[in-house]
């Protein structure tokens, strides 16, 4: 892992909704060759019903080249981060309702509580994740070189 790895946020690539999205033939997690091994990754929650769909595994899934072990690690990573977000959202909702807080108090609490997942993301950002919104895929990669190659394969470029 050299300077191509950006631990803070990563590199975003947008691709229009299409049948086959092409990936470089390397593991999305460890960047080493994979022998046709892949995992299925579910898109992150989007919109009002997104969290429910995500919980029941109903969000769009795509095949991503990865070693089985690396893939499980990645999935656990995404799962944990998303559950952390839901947990915090639920706490905010309960506190807001229980104490009958107004909108500004709730927004203040959200800002304070959001520091946790942001800090977590900074330290443990998944190597890869994506979401599909309005027929546009937004992919996030930690590895810049991988992101660049991916973008090239799909005829787009990295979002600046
Ligand atoms: Zn791997």
Any idea where the domains of the chain sit in the sequence?
11-153
Quick: pLDDT tens for 105-120. 888 888 888 787 778 7
- The alpha carbon of 76 and the centre of ligand 1 are apart by a number of angstroms equal to 14
Contact between residue 21 and residue 40 where contact means Cβ atoms under 8 Å apart: no
Q: What is the b/e burial string over 148-159, where b = at least 16 CB atoms within 10 angstroms of the residue's CB?
A: bbbbeebeeebe
Interval 129-140 mean pLDDT: 93
Max mean pLDDT among 12-21, 61-70, 119-128 falls in 61-70
Separation of CA 95 from chain center = 27
- The alpha carbon of 49 and the centre of ligand 1 are apart by a number of angstroms equal to 32
- The alpha carbon of 33 and the centre of ligand 1 are apart by a number of angstroms equal to 8
Interval 36-45 mean pLDDT: 93
- The alpha carbon of 27 and the centre of ligand 1 are apart by a number of angstroms equal to 5
At 108 the pLDDT is 87
Q: How many Cα atoms are found within 13 Å in the side-chain-facing hemisphere of 134?
A: 1
| Helices 68-98, 103-124: inter-axial angle, 10-degree rounding | 160
pLDDT cut 90: percent of the chain above it:
46
- The alpha carbon of 109 and the centre of ligand 1 are apart by a number of angstroms equal to 39
Separation of CA 9 from chain center = 10
Give strand pairing partners of 132: 137
- The alpha carbon of 134 and the centre of ligand 1 are apart by a number of angstroms equal to 31
d(CA 21, CA 122): 27
Where does residue 135 rank: exposed (0-12), middle (13-18), buried (19+ CB within 10 A)?
exposed
Interval 25-50 mean pLDDT: 91
Average of per-residue pLDDT values in the chain: 87
Separation of CA 53 from chain center = 15
Max mean pLDDT among 47-56, 124-133, 141-150 falls in 141-150
């Amino acid at each position: 892992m050299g300077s191509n790895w950006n631990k803070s946020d990563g590199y975003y690539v947008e691709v229009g909704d299409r049948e086959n999205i092409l990936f470089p033939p390397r593991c999305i997690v460890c960047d080493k060759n994979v022998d046709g091994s892949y995992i299925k990754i579910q898109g992150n929650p989007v919109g009002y019903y997104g969290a429910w769909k995500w919980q029941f595994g109903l969000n769009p899934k795509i095949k991503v080249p990865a070693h089985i072990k690396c893939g499980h690690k990645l999935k656990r990573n995404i799962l944990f981060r998303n559950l952390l977000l839901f947990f915090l959202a639920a706490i905010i909702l309960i506190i807001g309702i229980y104490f009958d807080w107004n909108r500004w108090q709730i927004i203040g609490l959200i800002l304070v509580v959001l520091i946790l997942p942001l800090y977590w993301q900074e330290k443990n950002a998944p190597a890869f994740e994506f979401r599909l919104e309005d027929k546009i895929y937004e992919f996030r990669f930690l590895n810049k070189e991988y992101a660049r190659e991916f973008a090239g394969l799909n005829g787009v470029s990295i979002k600046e």
